[in-house]
Structure 1
């Protein structure tokens, strides 16, 4: 049981753990205050978005029609960059199992907390949004391997908050361990907790052999002193950003330049317009046939 970290404490803890942190404008006051408690807090919860960037990042910030944002306290991109999205209550955990919460509070379980038997809206479900910090990781959830930089950053994010509160790795759980409705994250949580424990056994600055702090694999726009990027910096960042070619053979997953992707989009758009023209012609032909049939029946 603990008082939630302040925005400054959160930022300092994440940076001390070696994370690359971006502050979304307004994150310090972005929360669901007035819609339930925030604290005392007992642990951290890992999620995956089920979508892909950049739309999933926007959903974490703004929410959906049925779930207002923020939908987590932080968003983790594939390159390991952590973007702070909220400070306070966030709509990420929903209802879950009170037995799981007690096991986290006591840090009493072996490798896994008890299996959950509750979910949002079920009788006896406990409000997880009041008790857990949430991390949404950009991931479709198809069972593919997570990039090393992203997984390492998730471990560091969890360790940073646990370290700040003096908790062990057993205060870190996955959404699937909280709610019997949820499948996320796709990786094995005992293995994840073992990695968190390894970090907590060392100072926050610890960097094991063969591992480096999360660094972006794609350039981001530098900023001027007033925090705003120049037009050239924006253009450079956008056009150098690697994108997966949608025409690549399945499984090859090569990176292509943004210009290639845009040209493919233009070509695909033209093909779609041509198909629409063909469909329109077919509809007109069918409409003419219907008119003839109606006219023939009327005469009869």
Structure 2
């Protein structure tokens, strides 16, 4: 049982554990403290988000949605291993859970089955939401699993807790299934191994940034996939389209590397969002990627631009 660490101490603990931390907006002061107490804190809770795309996932966890205002956690761990801080203090992540489970966490003992929902978990747990569809098929990249391990260990190390202070949402609230795709027993084993070291390990390797060749992307954009013959295909189109999906401008990523009319329309919308317009008054942006619009999209979504 501990007093919550300060926001600055929380950030410092994550960084000291070697994590790549992204600070989102006013995260230090974004909380639900007006709705109830924050602390004493007793452990760390892990969730999956049932979302796809880093930008969309972070945005939802920060703002929440109808019926459940944000923040929905303290940190969002995306598939690239980054930890995005979206709030600090009381957060809408744990809900009501089992008081017997809380007592086991406090005593750092084996967890009983969760069969009641009678205790306010938002008060007692740090929460990390992890980007994953939660369908059992969506993969958990190794770098993301290591980031979960490091983030939980960072909090435990600060408070002097062991790995039994880390639980999944499915172990707290009846009916919950998250996180799905790995077991909390395996994650606690990893955390325990990390905590056995007196000092945090070195930094995670920086995530590899995909590289998009502008000339190849423009070539793909200028090839009409409706024409006869074999249209230009370029693998970088899929990386580009994934960023447009994250921006809410494109419904899905095409799998063939073609730059279709829907991608061109989404590109036009992105260009207009940046202030670009067509050559004639009232004409939309042309939908052919330019260096500025592509670079700004890459800076936001983790890819680099060449040529």
TM-score above 0.5: yes
1:247 aligns with 2:254: yes
Change in Cα spacing, 1:219 to 1:86, as seen in structure 2 (3 Å) is farther
Judged with a 3 Å threshold, the aligned counterparts in structure 2 of structure 1 residues 179 and 261 are, in CA distance, closer, same or farther, namely: farther
In the other structure, the counterpart of 2:31 is 31
Please give the secondary structure, in 2, of the residue aligned with 1:184: coil
Distance 1:261 1:182 in 2: 40
How many pairs align?
231
1:114 equivalent in alignment to 2:112: yes
Instruction: Give 1:26-105 correspondences, 5 Å limit.
Output: 26-53=26-53, 54-105=55-106
Distance 1:41 1:214, change over 3 A: farther
TM-score, structure 2 length as denominator?
0.70
- Given that 2:238 and 2:253 are in contact with CA atoms closer than 8 Å, whether structure 1 keeps it comes out as no
TM-score normalised over the length of structure 1: 0.71
Deviation at 1:87, TM superposition (A): 1.1
**1:127 paired residue number:** 120
Tell me how far apart the structure 1 counterparts of residues 135 and 145 of structure 2 sit (CA, whole Å).
16
Q: Displacement of 1:240 after TM fit?
A: 10
- For 1:149-164, list aligned pairs within 5 A: 149-164=143-158
Structure 1: how far apart are the matches of 2:259 and 2:83? 26
1:183 aligned residue? 177
Residues 188-221 of structure 1, C-alpha deviations (whole Å, 9 max, x = no match): 00100000001001134325xxxx715333379x
* 8 Å contact from structure 1 (residues 56, 138) kept in 2: yes
The Cα offsets for residues 126-147 of structure 1, whole Å up to 9 and x where unpaired, read as 0000000000001001213300
Out of 124, 133, 144, the residue aligned to residue 140 of structure 1 is 133
| CA spacing shift, 1:146–1:261, aligned 2, 3 Å | farther
SS in 2 for 1:108: coil
Check if 1:173 corresponds to 2:167: yes
Q: Check 1:30–1:114 CA distance in 2 against 1; reply closer, same or farther (3 A cut).
A: same
Write out aligned runs for 1:242-281 (5 A): 246-248=253-255, 265-266=263-264
Cα deviation digits, residues 202-251 of structure 1 (max 9, x gap): 134325xxxx715333379xxxxxxxxxxxxxxxxxx99565583338xx
For 1:34, what is the secondary structure of its paired residue?
helix
Per-residue deviation, 1:264: 5.1
Partner of residue 216 from structure 1, selected from 196, 207, 217: 207
Distance 2:148 2:74 in 1: 13
C-alpha contact 1:44 1:173 (8 A) present in aligned 2: yes
CA RMSD of aligned residues (A): 2.6
Is 1:203 matched with 2:198?
yes
